[in-house]
Structure 1
Amino acid sequence: MSNTKIVSPKKDMIFMAILSVVVLTMPIWLQPFGAAYPDLMQKFMIFGIFAIGYNILFGLTGYLSFGHAAFLGVGSYTAVWSFKLLSMNVIPAMIFGTVLSGLFALAIGFVSLRRSGIYFSILTLAFAQMSYNLAYSVLTPITNGETGLQLEQADPRVLDRMSGIVDDGSLPTPNLFGIEGIGYSGFYICAALMLISFFIYLRIFRSPFGLKLRAIKSNQNRMGYTGFSTRPYLMTAFVISGMYAGLAGSLLAVTDPLAGAERMQWTASGEVVLITILGGVGTLIGPLLGAGIIKYFENIFSAFNDTVLLNAFSFLPDWLAHPVASVVGLFVGEGWHLTLGLVFMLIVIFLPGGIMEGITRLTRLVTKREKAEPKSEAHETKEKEQTSAGEV
């Protein structure tokens, strides 16, 4: 399905219903893959939000940002400060984290969007690295530097104390009106927010605003020649994308109430670029697939150590099991990046449109075969009739 194809709202609702069922049943169907534990599923949801927000900018407008980790970090720091000063309820943390990230994106976008292409990418990278260095050293009173910002027993938490919530002597857990933000309940909180975020993303994708963003990606100069001002649309897309990143950062603080400068480093920005390209730039579901695959590699493949590999190949003779485990060990455990790099290389070479292009090709192939089969049967029937007529 192309981006310009008109899709009825009814089909979008059916699509959302199917996606909701798939997401909410993840603890069941991820069991065979060894990925049904809450921490990993929360990462699927959080980085899915990060990726679909990034796709609004990169996928729809073609503007490649290397600095989105800055907004992820701002969201995390803001959420932890909300937990420390106001309440352990996740709602104020998410609201403040999303809003402040949007304001930060507005400031960075105001400067960066004056340029396009590689110059825009370099500007966003520069701002992200500046933010990282500020968080790591200069703004230590706010960010706690290399140690990271974390909760303490003596934190005021004004709203909680006003509500009569009494500390039991241990560090409290982020919650949604008593529902803990960790474990399976935490996963379902993240899943609900991801589905809401995806629905908003879907409406943007289908809207006239989304169509204008794709037109900017197609030929921005031509739109300028017609007197159409593209800058307000680019700025809006940049801010919305930054707010999505801020929400993802806030949820990272919900699952683990610790904010460190490493979340603002350039590697985190590169990761969301990789996720989007791997899944399919400018597609609806591609960023979610990319986030799931990369986080699966990062958390499952990296856990395969020498002992696990030797047990896996224990059915082989000892003289063969050790060499095989050594070779496979190059691609898992600490070498999981090598496997990810090979997968990414194959995707870029053979499927430039990402995993979604592969799914589209496979769907078309199956559809063509289904259409060809009835034709071939009809052709055979016709030949038999002609043969019978000739015999007569």
Structure 2
Amino acid sequence: MNNLMPRNDLFLLLGFTAVVLTMPIWLAPFGAGYPDLLQRFMIFGIFAVGFNILFGLTGYLSFGHAAFFGVGSYAAVWSFKLLTLDAIPAMIFAVLISGLFALLIGFLCLRRSGIYFSILTLAFAQMSYNLAYSVLTPITNGETGLQLTINDPRVLDAAMGQGFAGQPVPTLLGQQMSGYAGFYFCAGFLILSFFIAQRIAGSPFGMMLKAIKSNQTRMQFTGFNTRPYALSAFVISGMYAGLAGALLAVTDPLAGAERMQWTASGEVVLMTILGGVGTLVGPVIGAWIIKYFENILSALNDNILARFWSFLPDGVADVVVKVTSKFVGDGWHLTLGLVFVIIVIFLPGGIMEGVRRLAALFRRSGSSSAKPSARTQPAE
């Protein structure tokens, strides 16, 4: 096995798998053990892992990845409407369509680098959003969004004699992709996506991407054509985004233009920076933290805060509730902003830098305690 994968990578993959599969257990005390939120953790973890291949490994900052996320959702829903409610064909179709779209956008945007590349990706993302919202309404159903109906043709299901009495929902081998079944379905794809990203990072192709990030100009001066490698990273990253969008359509069979807004592109940038750019686990942790804040802190209100601070004296509790209420509910973005500022100032490498610092501290303390105490020898 060591010939196929380095031991450290194997341990990391096994540890990551164990953490992901046991999330319903260890997240339950934090109020985040319910399936809908766990599915979001998995989906946006995939989104962040794919974005990190482009940003973390290659050094290209894209503000337009929400376009591929939205295209993946639309492609999956159209697969459910036209072909079959089975999730696997929809996933394959969404990844292929997103990859082709990323190939087109990347071919145009990678003619520039730096801030100009970022602005180009943002422009294409906004164009995609406006096309989906207004121009391509026969395909996207505009602001209402694309939904499944009983009257959809679903030719493969019809050919196999499969009918549905109620509202059609995506399935896998007859199992509806909702609840914990949907979570473990998404978890399997997150683990697979993490494994692929891990192999890419350690491969010669990954070394080339890191070299592009380190000094692309020097590589070009030596006569090395870096554009095919950057374009490949862009397409792979776009396919990851399409996969995440398809999974969101599997668990929530609705595709809307809001999934392609620039705010969604900015969110995945925050996830990656918060967790640690260029690391494997960091972007996933960043995605989990942001989605936790979005779903848990946004649900808090004055009544919940009053019960939480009830151990304080009445006057003090009222003041504390009034202050903390500004950071939860509709103000959860303020809490996220403060956390992000603190991380960027004190841990520029993200949460994973903090983990590395703690690990180094424990190693130093362990090595110092293991050293034998020096004894003073009397002079002869």
Instruction: Please tell me the TM-score bracket, short chain as reference.
Output: over 0.9
The alignment's C-alpha RMSD in Å is 1.3
Q: Distance in 1 between matches of 2:77 and 2:310?
A: 47
Residue number among 339, 352, 357 corresponding to 1:356 in the alignment: 352
* Equivalent position amino acid for 1:362 in 2: L
1:244 is matched with 240
Give the structure 1 partner of residue 88 of structure 2: 91
Partner of 1:280: 276
Letter in 1 for 2:216: Q
* Structure 1 letter corresponding to 2:196: I
Following the alignment from structure 1 to structure 2, what is the Cα–Cα distance between the partners of residues 322 and 153?
52
Deviations 1:222-250 (A, max 9, x none): 10111110000000000000000000000
Partner of residue 373, structure 2: 378
Structure 2 distance, partners of 1:144, 1:156, is: 17
> In 2, Cα distance between the equivalents of 1:373 and 1:281?
34
Q: Which amino acid aligns with 1:280?
A: G
AA of the residue aligned to 2:241: A
Query: Secondary structure in 1 aligned to 2:61?
Result: coil
> Is residue 122 of structure 2 the alignment partner of residue 136 of structure 1?
no
CA distance in 2 between partners of 1:307 and 1:162 (Å): 55
Q: Which amino acid aligns with 1:287?
A: P
User: Could you tell me how far apart the structure 2 residues matched to 1:132 and 1:207 are?
Assistant: 35
Amino acid at match of 1:237: A
CA offset digits 1:250-287 (Å, max 9, x no partner) = 00101110011000000000000000000000011111
Distance 1:248 1:363 in 2: 32
Partner residue in 2 for 1:231: 227
TM-score (norm 1): 0.94
Segments of 5+ residues of structure 2 without an aligned counterpart are none
Corresponding residue SS for 2:373: helix
SS where residue 41 of structure 1 aligns?
helix
Partner of 1:171: 167
SS in structure 2 of the partner of residue 84 of structure 1: helix
Displacement after TM superposition at 1:304 (Å): 0.6
The within-5 A match list for 1:36-185 is: 36-168=33-165, 170-185=166-181
Runs of 4+ in 1 over 3 A off after TM superposition: none
- 1:330 paired with 2:326, answer yes
Q: Which residue of 2 aligns with 1:343?
A: 339
**Which amino acid is the alignment partner of residue 266 of structure 1?**
W
Separation in 2 of the partners of 1:183 and 1:121?
37
| Residue matched to 1:220 | 216
Question: SS state of the match for residue 88, structure 1?
Answer: coil
CA distance in structure 2 between the aligned counterparts of 1:8 and 1:76, rounded to whole angstroms: 33
Q: What is the rounded CA distance, in whole Å, between the counterparts of 1:39 and 1:197 in structure 2?
A: 20
Match of 1:321 in 2: 317
Q: Which residue of 2 aligns with 1:253?
A: 249
Q: Which consecutive residues of structure 1, in runs of 5 or more, have no partner in the other structure? A: 1-6
Is this contact kept in 1: 2:143–2:257, CA < 8 A? yes
8 Å CA contact 2:65–2:238 kept in 1: the answer is yes
Give the superposition deviation at 1:8: 5.5
User: Following the alignment from structure 1 to structure 2, what is the Cα–Cα distance between the partners of residues 258 and 307?
Assistant: 33
**Which residue number in structure 2 is paired with residue 263 of structure 1?**
259
Equivalent residue letter for 2:47: F
Give the SS at the match of 1:172. coil
SS in 2 for 1:330: helix
Measured in 1, the distance between the counterparts of 2:13 and 2:220 equals: 36
Using the aligned pairs only, state the percent identity: 68
State the structure with more CA Rg: 1
Alignment check: 8 A CA contact 2:274 2:286 kept: yes
Instruction: Name the amino acid aligned to 1:320.
Output: V
1:265 is matched by which residue type in structure 2? Q
Matched, 1:309 2:305: yes
Q: Which TM-score applies when normalising by structure 2?
A: 0.97
The answer to whether 1:21 aligns with 2:42 is no
